[in-house]
Chain A
């Protein structure tokens, strides 16, 4: 999981709605789908992306599956500027290399 997975996961408006519903409490897939106008396979896909980004977790009890927010998953989102502290030095190194590759 990397930070861009988190941003990409929440860039989709439907996924964002699903995630916001989970912020209010644990839900199952049927409850999450309600009123969103998306199919069952589509909701499963959205949930898979959110899980892949470590934003939500899945809890199984027999046949019943509930989803809930993973609080740690939000940390990169809120502290994005701290991550850019690591981002730019590498980019500037790339600029230096690029300048060396460019002719005048």
Chain B
């Protein structure tokens, strides 16, 4: 392995927690309908980023495999009811547990979701 192919990354996670002014059902739609999810998950102009849903617990938790030019990581979104018409929201983005490989976008994976052009 060259230094380029293997960058040791400690187990690290980013967590963001919010309360959203929207119903649980509406928030779930924004997480699960592909066009809606791509609209907010992927920043404009970031055509190096793609994601796919790997796990879904309706109205509770969504997991996306997140792929940028540096490799694949995991984005988890948890939601819960939080009072009248409000929804608790927690997004966690975790690195791979040991090494992060720099690769070209994989050829064999299922189709990935990208932001609409």
Contact = CB atoms under 8 A, between A and B. Distances in A.
Given A98-B30, A99-B27, A91 B43 contact: yes
A91 B41 contact: yes
Contacts, number: 93
Sort A-B residue pairs by CB-CB distance and give the 9 closest, nearest first: A7-B69, A95-B40, A99-B22, A94-B40, A4-B48, A11-B69, A7-B48, A11-B104, A80-B70
Q: How large is the interface on B (under 10, 10 to 19, 20 to 34, 35 or more residues)?
A: 35 or more
Interface residues of A, number: 32
B20 A96 contact: yes
A102 B26 contact: yes
B27 to A, nearest CB: 7
A95 B69 CA distance: 24
Interface string B1-34: 0111001010010101010111101110110000
B77 to A, nearest CB: 10
